[in-house]
Structure 1
Amino acid sequence: MTVDSPQPAVQRLPGRPRADQTTPGARARVLTTADRLFYDEGIRVVGVDRLIAESSVTKATFYKHFGAKDTLVLQFLAGRHDRDVAALAEIVAASSDGRDAVVRFVDAAVARMQEPGFRGSAYGNAAAEFSDPTHPARVAIAEHREWLTDALVDLFKNAGHPMPGDAADDFQLALDGAQIGAYAGDAIAASAALRRTTERLLSA
């Protein structure tokens, strides 16, 4: 009887990184996973072990890139903020005037609120999970809201509103309420209410 020779074990080339340790692949996978899980399920309930498992990285790789979960939370918020900044810049660039920019901004907000996986504002949800106003996550959320307020002031100023600061505050409060209403109640009703508020502000 002939005995087959054993196949040689597959080995990595010396010095070649494991697939889960490539950069930016591993880091990007963790960020993508965190963005999905933190938004869909909440920050506190999602543990590091689950983030590691669903990102297909090792624990060593996770801690190499982020050090701690709090760092990942801040990067999750920063990523959301950067996307919002880029989205608003695209809206302004595509608009014919200030009023059109406000309307396009509302259109984009309404489209998000009516998506099947909408869970409200990522920033509002995160703020509800961190009661300490001095926590770095709360500081990041406050900075995002300050940016949004300033951006809204510019939008309403360009739309010719006589009191753009007040209009920005009114609109932001309406947007906050609409996002909660769309998630917890009727997205169509919340969207219609936001549009009515916007029309009133633009007619001032």
Structure 2
Amino acid sequence: MKVSEPRERLLRTATRLFYAEGIRGVGVDRVLAEAGVTRATMYRHFPGKEALVVAYLEHEDAAIRGLFAAAAEQASAAEATPRDLLALVIDGVADDATRLHTRGCPFINASAEFPDAAGPVRAVVRRHRDWFRATLTDLAAAAGAPDPAATAASLVLLRDAMLVGNYLDGRDVAADFRATARGVTGLD
């Protein structure tokens, strides 16, 4: 399937602006102007702004899933243990918060702007968080954690705190996340 370059440009622009300035704070006209596409082009690909927001969050979800896939590939190439893979994931999550997501969690930010828990935006957030938690549970189980679900819940909480802390405190808290996450998972 051929990817539409104007659609991708629109999505890249929306992703950058929505994450940097907030979803409600960025109008469709600005996204269109900065992406260099017409309103008709947008509506050909997205029925409205909310659909563009859903695509933005799905893009963020795919990037985080890619982080996990890269860690798994790296672990496989090194013939690493499940504990090594869990350590790689922790490092990848910390690196993501330091390099890419310095303005908090895109899913938490979107949830704050779209409070309807039954709406399409929150459905994407819920799917992402369910996947994230389930994947961490599987990794913790493979690594031999005594209570994989509790370990995963702690890692989700720590990631949320790290992303918010990086933004609100104006300093890199990734080292704190790594140390605490390694302690929670028994990797220390």
TM-score (norm 1): 0.83
Where in structure 2 are the equivalents of 1:146-157 lying within 5 Å? 146-157=130-141
Letter aligned with residue 91 of structure 2: D
Deviation per CA, 1:61-115, whole angstroms, max 9, x where unpaired?
1112112111111111111111211221121121212211121112122222223
Match of 1:180 among 131, 156, 164: 164
The residue number in structure 2 matching 1:164 is 148
After TM superposition, give the deviation of residue 117 of structure 1 in Å: 6.7
Runs of 4+ in 1 over 6 A off after TM superposition: none
The residue number in structure 2 matching 1:141 is 125
Match of 1:90 among 70, 94, 97: 70
After TM superposition, give the deviation of residue 27 of structure 1 in Å: 0.7
After TM superposition, give the deviation of residue 116 of structure 1 in Å: 7.8
Aligned alpha-carbon RMSD (Å): 1.8
Distance 1:203 1:28 in 2: 42
The residue number in structure 2 matching 1:106 is 90
Distance 2:181 2:82 in 1: 13
Match of 2:15 among 28, 32, 35: 35
Distance 2:90 2:3 in 1: 37
- SS of 1:199's equivalent in the other structure is helix
Distance 1:170 1:117 in 2: 20
- Residues 40 and 119 of structure 1 are in contact (CA less than 8 Å); yes or no, is this contact kept in structure 2? yes
Distance 2:46 2:100 in 1: 31
Letter aligned with residue 180 of structure 2: T
- Residues 171 and 198 of structure 1 are in contact (CA less than 8 Å); yes or no, is this contact kept in structure 2? yes
Larger RCO, structures 1/2 (Cα 8 Å, 6+ apart): 2
Q: Which structure would you say has the larger Rg?
A: 1
After TM superposition, give the deviation of residue 195 of structure 1 in Å: 1.6
The residue number in structure 1 matching 2:41 is 61
TM-score (norm 2): 0.90
After TM superposition, give the deviation of residue 30 of structure 1 in Å: 0.3
- Residues 97 and 158 of structure 1 are in contact (CA less than 8 Å); yes or no, is this contact kept in structure 2? no
- SS of 2:99's equivalent in the other structure is coil
Gaps of 5+ in 1: 1-21
- SS of 2:144's equivalent in the other structure is coil
What fraction of aligned residue pairs are identical, expressed as a percent? 35
> How many residues are treated as equivalent by the alignment?
182
Q: Which has the higher helix share?
A: 2
After TM superposition, give the deviation of residue 123 of structure 1 in Å: 0.6
Distance 1:160 1:117 in 2: 30
- Residues 161 and 202 of structure 1 are in contact (CA less than 8 Å); yes or no, is this contact kept in structure 2? yes
The residue number in structure 1 matching 2:32 is 52
